[in-house]
Chains A and B, each alone.
Chain A
C-alpha cells in the first residue's frame, strides 16, 4: 500500500510520461490520459490485487482491468510500466513501428498487463462483464475493473452491458467513468446532451458512487465504498469527476487536448509544472 503522498508522486511522474510519450510519438491522446491519471494510479498501486510477476491473460487468482476507452494508452502504459509489467524504457517506443505499445491496446504484441484489445468505443464494459462472469464460473473470488469515458457512454452497447450486468447480478465488477465532460468535438453536453449519468446508472440498477477524481483521499474513499458493495447483488459504477488535461495549466479543461500533441515549448512548460519523482524514461 502506498501513502496518499506516494500516490501523488507516482501520478506526477505518470503525467510527465504521458506528455513525453505523445511528444516523442508525435501523436496520441494526452487530455483523457491526464484526467484519469489520479484514480488509475490509485487503482493499480493501492486497490487492485495483482502481481506483474505472475500475470497471465486468463487473470486467474488476480484482479483484472479492462481499458474500454482504448485511446488512453499513454496513461495506461505509463502506469503498467511503473507498476512493473514491463521496462519503463519501453515507453519511448509508444506508437512506433514494431512496438508492443500500439496506439490502442493490443494483445497481439505480447505486452504484459493487457487483457483485451480496445479502441473501438463502447465495448470494454461488455468484456469486463464477461470476465466477471468468467471469474464467478471458475470460482475465482477476485474483481474486475473497467474504465469508460463519459463521451464513450454515448455508445449504445454501454447500456446493453449496463442492463445485462444488473440483470445477471454481476457484483464482482467495479466500473469507472472518467467524467471530464469533454470529447473530440466539444463538451459532452454540447455534442450529445449526455445528461445525468448517475441517474442513468441508478435507473439501470447499478450502485453508484460520485467522487472527485483528482483528490487522492476521496478517490481511495470511493474505491473503499465500491469494495463494500461487492458481493451484494449489484454492479458498481464510480463516476470520477475530473478535468481533461489536468495537471498542466494550458491543457486543463478543454477538449482541444483530447488528441493533440504539445510542441517543444509547451512540453517544456508542462515539464516545469510536473515534478519528476521516479525518473523519466
Chain B
C-alpha cells in the first residue's frame, strides 16, 4: 500500500492558524473574530500581523456571528472562531438566519471538535456539530485531517464565496498529507484497494491508514478515502469505491446521528446498497480523559476500524 510519512505530530488548529495568516496576507478583505479564544484558535499570528483586522468579541458568540455576517455583507471575509460547540449549537439560530439563509460569506472556524478535546469533558466535546451544520441549506462543511490539509482548507475557504463550516481539533496528530491546494468538494483517495472501502474524515483519516496497514498484513486491500468535504459530498468517488469493493466502513469522530456514516449510507442506499459498518460515537455524551483514552473507550480508533473492516467483509 501507499506509504504516508508522519512528519511530526501537530494540531490541526495550528494548521488553521497558519492558513488564516496566509489567507490574510493574500487578501486584505480577510478578517478574524473570536470570542475570548484567540490563543486556543491559534489566531495569535494573524492578530499580531494584522491587529486592525482582528476583532475580539468577548464571551458573546451570538453577537460574534451577527457581526461577522454584517462585515461579510459589506465585502469583508470574516473567519469567526470558537470551540465547535460554541459556533454551532450555541448559535444555531444565528448561523441559520444570518449566515445561511442570509447568504453571507462567513467562515465558521470550529476548533476542539469531537471527543479528543479531552479533559474539559462532555460540555465542550461536541459530537453533534456535523449533523447541525449539514442540515443547513447552502452550508459547506469541511473536516480536514491533518495540519497541512487544514492549512490548505483554510486558504480554500477564504477563496470560496459562501458560508463554510471549517472543523478542526485540539490534539497533536500525525501530519502526513501532501502540501497541495485544497479542493472543496473532493474526496481524496489515499490508497487504492479492492476488498473494502474505508471512508474517513478528520482525525480518523490517519487512524484509517494505520488500520489499512494492519489489514494489508492480513491480505486485505483497502481503499482509504479522506472525506475532507462532508458537504457537498463527493458522491461519485464514494459510490465508485463502494461498488468496486462491495463493503464499506465509515469512520468519524462524531456521533452516528447526522454524521458522515448516515450520509454515506443514505447515498449508497439510493444507488447501490452495500454492507456498512460504522466507527463513530453512539447516542451518548463524552467525559473527561485524555484523547487516546477517550477514543479507545468510545471505540473510535484504528483498532476499531480494522475490526469493522473484517466484519463488513464477512457480510459481503
- A residues with CB within 8 A of B: 57-60, 66, 106-108, 115-120, 122-135, 137-138, 140, 156-157, 160-161, 163-164, 167-168
Contact B66–A127 (Cβ < 8 Å): yes
A59-B74, A137-B71, A138-B74 known; A126-B66 Cβ under 8 A: yes
Residues of A within 8 A of B73 (CB): 57-59, 115-116, 127, 130-131, 134
Chain A residues within 8 Å of B65, by CB: 126
Which chain B residues border A116 with CB–CB below 8 Å?
A: 69-70, 73, 98, 102, 104
Set of chain A residues within 8 Å of B71, measured between Cβ atoms: 130-131, 133-134, 137
Which residues from A are CB-within-8-Å of B215?
A: none
B55 contacts partner chain A, Cβ-Cβ < 8 Å? yes
- With beta carbons under 8 angstroms apart, the residue of B52, B57, B75, B98 that contacts A127 is B98
In the bound complex, CA of A126 to CA of B106 (Å): 14
Across the two chains, which residue of chain B brings its CB closest to A123?
B66
CB < 8 Å neighbour of B63 from A57, A118, A164 = A164
Report chain B residues within 8 Å CB of A122: 62
Which of chain A's residues has its CB closest to B104's CB? Answer: A116
Interchain residue pairs with CB less than 8 A apart (16): A66-B70, A106-B101, A107-B103, A108-B103, A120-B93, A120-B97, A123-B94, A123-B98, A126-B66, A126-B69, A126-B98, A127-B70, A129-B63, A134-B71, A160-B62, A164-B58
Q: Collect the chain A residues with CB atoms within 8 Å of residue B305's CB.
A: none
Docked-complex contact A107 and B102, CB < 8 angstroms: yes
Whether B10 sits at the interface, judged by CB under 8 Å, is no
- Determine if B310 is an interface residue (Cβ-Cβ < 8 Å): no
The answer to whether B103 touches A134 (Cβ under 8 A) is no
A115–B64 Cα gap in the complex (Å)? 18
Instruction: Tell me if B264 is interfacial: C-beta within 8 Å of chain A.
Output: no
Closest to A137 in B: B76
> Which positions in B face A, CB cutoff 8 Å?
31, 52-53, 55, 57-58, 60, 62-76, 78, 93-94, 96-98, 101-104
B103 and A167: CB pair below 8 A? no
B63→A138 contact, CB < 8 A:
no
Q: A130-B69, A157-B63 are in contact. Are A164 and B57 (CB under 8 A)?
A: yes
Chain B residue with the shortest CB-CB distance to A168: B55
B36 to chain A, nearest CB (A): 12
Query: In the assembled complex, which residues on chain A have CB atoms less than 8 Å from the CB atom of B76?
Result: 134, 137-138
* Most chain A beta-carbon contacts within 10 A, residue among B53, B65, B73, B78: B73
Give the Cβ gap from B101 to chain A, nearest Cβ, in Å.
5
CB-CB nearest 9 A-B residue pairs: A130-B70, A126-B66, A134-B74, A160-B63, A160-B60, A130-B67, A127-B70, A131-B70, A117-B102
Do A161 and B63 touch across chains, with their CB atoms under 8 A apart? yes
Q: How far is the CA of A132 from the CA of B70 in the complex (A)?
A: 8
Distance in Å from the Cβ of B64 to the closest Cβ of chain A? 8
Report B-chain residues with C-beta under 8 Å of the C-beta of A138. Answer: 74-76
Please determine whether B70 and A129 come into contact, CB atoms closer than 8 angstroms. Answer: yes
Q: Which residues of A are found within 8 Å of B67, using beta-carbon distances?
A: 126-127, 129-130, 133, 161, 164
Task: List residues of chain B with CB within 8 A of the CB of A59.
Answer: 73-74
In the bound complex, CA of A117 to CA of B69 (Å): 10
List of B residues within 8 angstroms of A106 by Cβ: 101
A57 to B73, CA, bound (A): 7
Chain A positions within 8 Å of B74 at CB level: 58-60, 130-131, 134-135, 137-138, 140
- CB neighbours (8 Å) of A58 from chain B are 73-75
Closest to A170 in B: B67
Nearest Cβ distance between residue B199 and chain A, in whole angstroms?
A: 33
Q: How far is the CB of A177 from chain B (nearest CB, A)?
A: 17
Q: How far is the CB of A66 from chain B (nearest CB, A)?
A: 8
**Most chain B CB within a 10 A radius of its CB, from A106, A108, A117, A132:** A117
* A123, A163, A168: the one within 8 Å of B97 (CB): A123
